[in-house]
Structures are given as structure tokens and as C-alpha cells.
Structure 1
Amino acid sequence: MKSKYSIVTSDLTVKALQDSGYKSTAHAIAELIDNGIEADADLVELFVVESLDRSSQRARHRVEKIAVLDNGTGMDPETLRQSLRFGAGTRQERKGIGRFGVGLPNSSISQCDRVDVWSWQAGPDNALHTYLDLAELRNGLEEVPEPKPDALPVDWQTLAEGLGTSGTLVQWTQLERVQWRGADATLANTERLIGRIYRRKITQGTRVRLVPARGWAELPGARDTKPNDPLHLTAPSSTPPPFDTKPMFRPFGAGNVGEVGEERFMVKGADGKKHAVHVRASVAVDAARRPDIEGEEWPADISSSLKPGDTPWGKHANRNLGISLIRADRELDLDTGWTNSYDPVERWWGVEIDFPPALDEVFGVTNNKQSATIFSALAHFRWREEAAGLSWEEFREELREEGDPRLPLIEIVYYIREKLLGRLRSHLEDQTRGTGTSRKRHEQVENQAEEAVKRRRAETKPSLTDSLAKTTTPEESKQTQLHSLVETHKYSKADAERIIEETFSRGKHTRLLTSRNADSPAFFNIEFIPGLLQVALNMDHPVYSDLIAVLDKDFEGASRDELIDRLVAAANAFKLLLLSWARFEDEQPEKPRTRAKQMRQDWGRIASEFLGADSEDDEDDE
């Protein structure tokens, strides 16, 4: 008998199919929903059926079957048989959400040992049925079984709500690799994902119904999936109240197509033609992050002292962190590589990139439609490091000459990284200036400074602000402060009035705040207001971003390594600050250098008092 020398054994083939790279059970289920939507279904139903038995009294009922039913066009015998072949789908023309025809068999085998498919075009009683079984594949099955007439089981017909004269049902059994144990957990975790993936389709009228069952009895909790929009511009949506019925974000940016928050780029595809890519951005409305917005106060059951990120809607936003890639009205991926994972403020912006299937090769779309590898790799693209001294235009031309596959996306990446994300983060910083954690830390510093000021007022002659206070009424001082905070530092009138009231009620003579002043080379500015010494940290100066902001940001959620990195970065920034002063003195002529040295020593003596040094001994350092 002649021996067989197969390059790949059946067991290895099955193992490869099982490890086909789906991120979760929910992602695999999404492939089945894709098929229904591609078949023009307006209703897709997801059933998660628990077994009647459980292993112990305390154990949950285990998921026994998962099925997706649609009322789409159904399949003829040939199409049905082809649908279970790997790489032999019918939608390879790249016009819809399908891609390489691997979705149904790959997603199914990644989760179960058996998949059954019924499809009909003349009523469910006239359905055709075929299947794949891993046990048969291991034993050498080489062809998809020929579809046979087989009515859709009555139990499925009973559970279905929108059974049509045409449609398809895909059933998974022998669920060896399903991620969650019970029906409720499976549906809850799947709902978040498919609400996000199909948010546009759902908004356009497609229903995705979720049905928990035990045995063949429907359990309470059947529902339609609500849109889950990472840009939080859709209403109604799955966002918790009060933002379930109104947008939690607003469009951000001027836009170049006549729509606020939308930029369009023309990108050449593998077909040689240019195709439009739309980049949309959004940012949280004030009321999402602040409980004190008049007429938009937080719900009564949510404490106004709660951090915005700890609110139900803040936690929801954190699960939608990243840049959303939309392909043919379906989300491909939510790419978190563009975010600062340790920064809780990152949840409050959204960016969506919308491109057509004709640009699949340019973006690097994978077979299972779960990522765009070329685009995602550019999340860590630092063009200045690669350019090695070249200008942006010169570097771009070099990439063009080398035929670099990243080139078509470089303009988009440059816009997102160099312009858009910086503007979004700056806006979010400004949105809560004078509130929250950073304000509390400023108050701690102000309190310590106040004690030093009291000591110096008793020991030295009156300062400028002390002298001004003697000739100015408290009301006049308040008006000066209000003008400074609103006109110079761009605080809202309500925030400015609150800050001023806090200063007066606590009898403070110092105030620390943040401001933007890109035109100033100083990293802080001083205002001598009657009775008040006001210091404004310049948020547009590198000292602020590299030193102060690094330490002022919330520590919550940051790992030990991230905290160490932040401390090291801040320490390095402080050392560079000292070296920059040393260079400043070094560049001065002799007399100004002597004055600078004296100023440094005088400042050092006062710093000792403000920092609470134990010793007041001063020694010449040179």
C-alpha cells in the first residue's frame, strides 16, 4: 500500500483553523452578523442558549448553543456549500463589509467544534442544511457536505421574532472555546462590541436583537442593541444617562469639507485611483466633565464630588478609548496605540477614520477584519527621528522615491499626531482648569506658600502687592482679578468668580494658576494685584508639559513602571531647567552675570522659606 506524505496533517490543519486570530467570542460572532447585513437583512438575531443542567448548585448554567439568524436573501445550494469553504466566499469584489470569504468557517471553528447552517429562499420549512464538524475534519473529511433539504428546526422558529420567507441561521454547538460562561455575560460583552461595530447600520435602521434562552425557553432580557459610538455624537445610544438621549461629545475642529470636525484626504489605492478618507474628531461637552454647568447639572444620584472618569458615563467612555477605524460603514478596529494609556483624560476625545474597501492594501486590513496593520504600526511613527534632519517636505519626498508603503497614510498620520491630538488634549486641559485634582494640588502649594508669606510680612518691609492693597478696596481688587482671569487667562466668568471667592474667604495672598501664552518665552508670568501675588504657569512652554503636567496628572490607573517613567522625566526636566539657567549666566557680561548670581542666591534664600527648609544658613556656592 502506497504511503501518503501530506504536507500538512489533518490535526495540524484543524489546530490552525481554531487559532485563526479572533480577539474574542464577540469578534467571531460579529463575522456572522456581517453575513446577515451583507445579505440585506434588516433584522439579525443573536441567540445564546444555556443548558438546563449545571455542574453544581452554585455554578451558572453553561452556554450550550449560539446562533445567528437573519432575514436576508438566503443562499442557493451552491452558495451555501461555498460559504463553508475557507477562502471561497462570494464577496471578494470589496464593495461591502466582506473581505476574503473566510468569515463564516473561520469564526465558527475558532469557537466551536461543530457549525450547522440552514438557509432558505422559499420559507424556513424549505430550508437547505449543511455543516462542518471538526471530528470529521480530523478523520480526513475533504469536502463540505452537500446541502440537503431540511426544515429549520421548530425550536428556532419559535424563538425567532422576524422569521422571513428568506434567510439564514448559523448554529454553533460543542462550544469548547467560548469566552464567557453564561448567556447574560456572553450577551453583555458582545453587546458592547457589536453596538460599536455596527453603530452606523443600527442608526440607519438595521436591528440586531439579543435573545438569552435556557433550554428552548426565552429568558427575560431580550433587547435590541443600541448604537455605541466612540465619538459619542449619536443619540439615542448605549451611553448611560443623561447622555443616552443626547450627545456626550461635540464635533471638534474647523474641518475642510464644510462639516465641523471633519477633514478629508484623498489617498491612492492599489487600483491607481484616489479615494476619500474622512477623519472626524469630537471632544466631551463641558457637562460631561463638570457638575456645575448651569442647566446641565449631573443627575441627583451622582455625587458632584465624583471624578468625571468615575461616573457611569465616564467609565463607558473609557471602554471606547482609541481611534476608531471605519470600513464600509462597519468598525474594523478601535486602535488604542494612539492614546496615553495612563492618562484618564484620554477617554474624553474621539477620532474616527473612515475609508473604503478599495484602500484595504493601503491600510493593511487583515482577513478577519479586526485590524489595519499598516495604519496601526504608524501609531508609533516619529517622523523627525526617521528624517535625520530632513524637513517634512524632504522626508516625504524621500519616502516617495523609496516606494515606502506607508507614504499614502503619512499625511493623515501627520495631521492626527502633529495637529489634531495636540489640540484635543489642550482643549481638555483648558476645560477643567481651576477644578479637580490639579486645583487641589495648587491649593496645597498655595497654603504652604501662604505660611511663608506670613513670616516674611512680619520680618521684611511691605512688598509691592502689600503696598497696593493699602490704597485699593477689596471690591476693586476683585474686579482686577476678574479681568485678569477672564480676559488674560481665558477662564469662564463663573470659574473666575468661584476662584476669587475661594481666595478671599480663605484670606490668601498668593494664587497659582495655569494659562496659555504661546507668544511668551517665559514658563511662568507674575501679576502684582492689590493684596495678591498671582503666578500663571505657561501651559504652552515645554517646562509645563515636561515637568509640571507630568506630575500634576492623576496617578490613578497608572502602573508602577509608568509612575517611575513620569518621575524620571520630571527629574530630568528639572535638571535641564537648572542647566538652562547656568547657561544663561554663562552668556552674560561680567556685571549682569554678577547680578544674576546675586538674584539666584536671593531667590534661593526665599525658596528655603517657602519649601520649609530647617536651616537658614546661606553659603556662597562659588
Structure 2
Amino acid sequence: MTSEGNSYRIVSPSLTVKAMRDSGYKSTAYALAELIDNSIDAKATLVEVFACESPVQGASRTSHRVETIAVLDNGTGMDTDALRRALKYGDGLGDDRKRIGRFGMGLPNSSMSQCTRLEVWSWINGPGNAMYSYLDLAEINDGLDDVPAPKHDPLPEYWRELSEGLGNTGTLVVWSDLDRVNWHGAAATLKNTAELIGRVYRHYLTADKVVIKMAPVREGKVIGHANYAKANDPLYLTESSGTPAPFADEPMFEPFDMGNEDEPGVAHFPITVKGKQHVITVRASIARPEARRADIEDHPWPENANPNVDAGNHPWGKHAGRNIGISLIRQGRELDLDSSWAIGYDPVERWWGVEVEFPPALDDVFGVTNNKQSATTFTSLAHLKDKLKVETEDGESFKAFKDRLADLGDPRVDLIDLANYLETKLLPSIRRRLKQQTFGNRKSKKRHDADVTSKATDAVKRRSEDGHTGKTDDLAEGASTEDKRQEQVDALTRRHHLDEDTAQSMVDESLEKDWRVRWISSYQDSHAFFSVDLMAGMLQVIFNEKHPLHGELMAVLEEVPEDATTDDLRYRLGRAADTFKLLLFSWARMEDEIPSDRQREKIADARQDWGRYARDFIAGEDDGE
């Protein structure tokens, strides 16, 4: 029986299609990606995307609106049976794990999510011998059960004339009656779409496996020049890409060291699922100093780039701002740029890139959706530390928690070690490096930082002139400028892990201005909230980023968003004041708990001495010694 009213089928075609139309494609561009997947699986070397405009008469002027979207490729094409199956929901060309597609949903699902009529021509022996079939929502609603049998229909001349690489084999997909496409101006829309397509297929584009042309069409002719998708690498390691100058032909980022000398910036995570081992590959990168700073020698910014404006506000920085998150790669194709792992309010997040690549065999482990736009299980593990606070039982170790998830059959268990590595090791390490990159930036350094350094230097010099010399003064005797430079650069790069360019810039500035003090933040494996480096002519104070005081005091006061409101600033000042009081209370309790009166007196004397030094540095007056 074929009539919906007389059958007992589990689902009806019309209701299924209606439901699938709401399957959640993020945009028309993501729906188009499904068609490009099919073209690449068909070994196409050229994919042409056409957005065809028609005039729309308004009250005062004529505008143009996209009425038809088409994707034409020079792939292997389909025979009659393959074409008919490709238009069937949930069939396609089968579950072939070597293909980008897997679920047999891509062509009908993506197409009907955007339009009410889908037409397909495919040929394996010249476009004149093309076979044709279609889906039409109105016919499905009227009770059409079967995909119409393909018939011989030569490729229309309209599309032949538009194509620049029509092959002896190929496929054309046409969407019309676009009731869910919000594209108006075809040219501008395709230009923006090319950036997303360039990111999704960057590995294919970089390897020259495919060319993707994005062409706006009006009155049967391409408007102006077509856009060709350029590789858009969120790791910014690609030499030639769509990144704005000065990074269009050179990488803007560099691999981030993950301890793999053979493959810098790469780590491999084997996992065993149902007795079979699979490998997940993680790649990480971090901005080169010259991407964020205008004062790196031999790496000037473009002449029209204001060095006093933050790099994030320049074209290359804005480009990076559109590529924030962890990129998930399956079968060489990006599924999602998952921003759940980023600190959403922090603009510095644009300056790192992480890519997680996994084989299609792990689709179920990652929770890949049938429209290949996300991996729900992986996303659910973002901000794992916060989730552990809620989900772990009292006194439960991380291992015990994992064992409990395994016993419960929780789908997250296979990825939890990877998520823990990303959140507690890799991303914190990257963020620490990013904070260090802007130390000593002459162009963007805040004036009050230089003022406090100058004021502290004056105090050091004044005390030295008054006979209160320290070890840094003694070490400076007889030390050459080059000796001082090398000692300081070594301390910054080897002990505190700053990159060479940043360290050199900081030291050059200190020597030029004869500064005797330097303040940095660095991750220290110590309970002390700060430490001191005593070098020839340089007193270096290191605030321990690992200590909670850093996050509650320095980060609150210094890492203030540019768009912070008055209420937010007032809150930050109050929070910093409370933290300072707690700091003094902690000292007081330390004195209180010292069992020996003699030791307590020594601590009290140290407190008195520190108070006198503080008066000299802050008030700028000699302590009278």
C-alpha cells in the first residue's frame, strides 16, 4: 500500500521531510557544505557554487535577490540507481567510512532544509547523456512515496555556459523555491561564505585536491569575478591562505610545544573502544610575537596599520577573532569550530589554535550529528573542571569518577582523559605564553606600568646612592652591558619560558631606560605568591600565576575588558580591596600561629622593615637610615 491513510508505516514521507527541514543547519553555507562533501567523495577536482539573482521591484528601486543556488562538479557522476538512492533519506551510497559522508542524509536533508524543490542531473558519459531526478515538497505533501525514477535529460545549456570546467562526468544539484535562504546580494554573500567554506575544506584546498569556485550570477552571467575559496586555517600555520596582510603568504602562528620533538605542535592520543585502538591527533599553535606586537625586529606591521592600536583590531586580528575555538576534523573536513572551550569574554583567545582530528570510526564516541555540524559528546566535556565540581561525589578521585562513568555506560568516558588534558594542561599552558608575549611591548605598554617601573628604579638608585647597596648592585660592578643583557634574557627564556623575541625586547627597553626593576607574571611551582631574581643591575619580581592571589588581585585589576562598565570597574576595585585585606589577615594569622616568642619577634621586625621599604618606594622618601 502506498497511501499514507491506509498504511502502517512507522513514519510518513511528508511528516519526515517536514521534520528534517528543521534539522538545524547553522546557515545556508553549512547546508552547502553537505553538497561539497558529496562532490569531494566523488573525486571532483572542481566544485562550482552558483548563486543566481533575480530582480525584485521595490517601492522606489529595483534590487536583486538570490532565487536559485546550484552546485556543479566534475566528479565521477552517478548511474541511475545511485542517483535515485542519493535522493532517498537515510540511504545515499551506504555507510562507507572512507567517505566524508556517512549517514545517507546529506543531499536531501541539506537541500530540503533550504528549499522546496531539489533537482539533480548526473552523468557518467558526457553532460548530454545526463540522468535527471528531483524532490518536490508539494508532491511529497500530496502523497508521493517514491523518489521519481531518473530519466534522460541533457544538462541544460544555461549551466553549461556558466561552468568553466565541465567534465565528461559530473553532477549538478539545483535548489529553487528558496523559502529558507536569507541571501540577498549574491556577491557579498558568497564572499563571506567563501571564508567558512575555506575553513571547512582547508586541508583539501591546501593539498590542491579540489578548487571551490563561488560565483554570483545575474541574467545568466557571472557578476564581476568569481571568488575562489582560500584555505582558512584557524591554526594559522598555512603559508598561503586567506588571512589578511601581512600574513597572507606566511604563517601568523607557530606550533605550540607539546613535548613531541619529531612533530612540533602535535600530540597523539590512542584510545581503545570495544577492543579496538584508534588514534586521536591534537595539533596546537600560538600567535607569533609579530602578530600581536609592532616592535618585533625585521617583522614590521603594514604601513597603514597603527602600531598604537591593539592587534586584535587590525584586519588579521579580526580574522582570528572569527576563528576562536577547537577545530574538530573528521576525514580531513572540519565538523565544527567548537567555541565552548574558549573563554568567551577574553579577546586574547583569538591568538591560539587547537585542532582535534579523529577517524570516522569514532563518530559515536564524539557524538557526531547526522548533519556533520557538531560533536555533542566532545562539546559536553568543555569546562570539565566546573562539571567535576558538580558531578564528583565527596572524596571521589578523578580515576574513581571515570570508573563510575564506565559502570554507568556514560558516553563521555572514552574522551574524558583527552578533555582533561586539553583543559588542565594544554590550554592553560598556551594562555600563560600568550600573557607573556605582550610583556615589554613599547608601543602598547600601559603608561602606568612604565611609571611604576621608573618610580621603583628611582627608589633603588636613591637607596644605593645613600649606601644601602644590595646584591644586584654588587653583581653590576664590572658587568658589561652585554653580560647584563645575556643574563636577563636567559632568565626570561629559560626560567620563565618567554619567547626569545619578547625577552630581547624587554631587556633592550630596560637597558635603554636604565631600569633597575622588572615585574613579570610566571607560572611557578611554589606556594609563594611571588619570587625574586637577583641579577646584575636588575631586581626582577615574579608574581606566581599558579597562586590564587594572582587571579584574585592582578588579573582583576589588570585584565580589564575595554568595554567594561562602571559597575564592573567598581566591582573589580571592591574585589581587589577585599583580596588585599585577606592578604594582610593571612600574614597576621601567620604571626599568630608562630609558637616561639623569639621567632614571632623576628617576623614582626621583618614586617617593620618591609614597612620602611614600602614607605621609601611608595612615598618616594628616604627612610632616614
Counterpart residue number, 1:259 = 263
Q: Distance in 1 between matches of 2:335 and 2:309?
A: 34
Matches within 5 A, 1:50-449: 50-55=53-58, 60-205=63-208, 206-256=210-260, 258-269=262-273, 272-382=275-385, 385=389, 386-387=391-392, 388-435=394-441, 439-446=446-453
Q: Deviations over 1:551-577 (max 9, x none)?
A: 322513668998788667656644543
How far apart are 1:518 and its partner, in Å?
1.9
Q: Secondary structure at the match of 2:99?
A: coil
Moved more, 180-189 or 63-72: 180-189
- Check 1:566–1:273 CA distance in 2 against 1; reply closer, same or farther (3 A cut): farther
In structure 1, the partner of 2:587 is 581
Contact 1:263–1:279, Cα closer than 8 Å, also in 2? yes
User: Which AA in structure 2 matches 1:43?
Assistant: L
What aligned pairs does 1:481-520 form with structure 2 within 5 A after superposition?
A: 482=485, 485-490=488-493, 492-503=503-514, 511-516=517-522, 518-520=524-526
SS at structure 2 position matched to 1:279? strand
SS at match of 1:243: coil
Retained in 2: the 8 A contact 1:465–1:533? no
CA contact (8 A) 1:265 1:412 kept: yes
Q: CA deviation at 1:390?
A: 3.9
Aligned residue for 2:562?
Answer: 556
Offset at residue 475 of structure 1 (A): 9.5
**Distance across 2 between alignment mates of 1:526 and 1:257:** 32
CA shift, 1:99, in A, is: 1.9
Equivalence for 1:19: 22
SS at match of 1:489: helix
Percent identity over paired residues: 48
Q: What TM-score does the superposition give when structure 2 sets the normalisation length? A: 0.86
Question: More displaced, 71-80 or 25-34?
Answer: 71-80
1:533-612 alignment, distance < 5 Å: 535-556=541-562, 570=576, 573-589=579-595, 590-594=597-601, 596=603
* Partner SS for 1:580: helix
CA distance in 1, matches of 2:266, 2:543: 32
CA distance 1:36–1:11, change in 2 (3 Å): closer
Q: Distance in 1 between matches of 2:428 and 2:125?
A: 57
How far apart, in 2, do the equivalents of 1:281 and 1:473 lie?
41
**In 2, distance between residues paired with 1:542 and 1:99?**
47
Cα drift, residue 202 of structure 1: 1.2
Match of 1:615 in 2: none
Cα 1:534–1:82 shift into 2, 3 Å: closer
Instruction: Indicate if the aligned counterparts of 1:332 and 1:369 stay in contact, CA closer than 8 A.
Output: yes
Retained in 1: the 8 A contact 2:75–2:170?
yes
- 1:254/1:512 Cα in 2 relative to 1: closer, same or farther (>3 Å)? closer
Q: 51-60 vs 115-124, which deviates more?
A: 51-60
In the alignment, which of 464, 468, 477 is matched to residue 464 of structure 1? 468
Q: Which moved more, 1:354-363 or 1:572-581?
A: 572-581
Q: Could you list the runs of 5+ residues in structure 1 that have no partner in the other structure? A: 505-509, 613-622
Letter in 2 for 1:164: G
Deviates more, 1:534-543 or 1:331-340: 534-543
Compared CA separation, residues 461 and 212, structure 1 to 2 (3 A): closer
Point out the more displaced range, 25-34 or 272-281. Answer: 272-281
Residue identity matched to 1:404: D
- Within 1, Cα distance between the matches of 2:565 and 2:457? 34
Contact 1:65 1:175 in 2 (8 A): yes
Equivalent-residue separation in structure 2 for 1:564 and 1:114 (angstroms): 57
Partner AA of 1:498 in structure 2: E
Take 1:472 and 1:276, find their aligned partners in 2: how far apart are those partners?
A: 53
Structure 1 residues 502-547: Cα deviation after superposition (integer angstroms, max 9, x where no partner)? 356xxxxx74510536255432345788998764433443322442
CA distance change for structure 1 residues 149 and 562 in 2, over 3 Å: closer, same or farther? farther
AA aligned to 1:302 is A
Is 2:456–2:617's contact at 8 Å kept on the other side of the alignment?
yes
Moved more, 178-187 or 213-222: 178-187
Specify the code of the residue in structure 1 equivalent to 2:395: G
Q: SS where residue 382 of structure 2 aligns?
A: helix
Q: 1:525 to 1:183 in 2, by over 3 A?
A: same
Q: Distance in 1 between matches of 2:568 and 2:180?
A: 34
Contact 2:187–2:223 (Cα < 8 Å) also in 1:
no
When structure 1 is superposed on structure 2, of 566-575 and 511-520 the one drifting more is: 566-575
Could you give the per-residue CA deviations for residues 444-468 of structure 1, whole angstroms, max 9, x where no partner exists? 54467689x69x979x994735999
Q: What residue number does 1:40 align with?
A: 43
Q: How far is the alpha carbon of 1:303 from its aligned partner?
A: 2.2
* Structure 2 Cα separation of the partners of residues 195 and 33 of structure 1: 12
Structure 1 residues 390 and 595: CA distance shift in structure 2, 3 A: same
Structure 2 counterpart of 1:22, which letter?
Y
Alpha carbons 2:75, 2:169 under 8 Å: kept:
yes
Asked if structure 2 preserves the Cα contact closer than 8 Å seen for 1:342 and 1:558, the reply is: no
Quick one: which amino acid aligns to residue 238 of structure 1?
Answer: G
Q: Which amino acid aligns with 2:410?
A: D
1-structure distance, mates of 2:187, 2:478: 61
Whether the 8 Å CA contact 1:14–1:138 is kept in 2: the answer is no
Partner in structure 2 of residue 618 of structure 1? none
Cα RMSD between the aligned structures? 3.6
Alpha-carbon spacing, 1:608–1:132, altered in 2? closer, same or farther (3 Å): farther
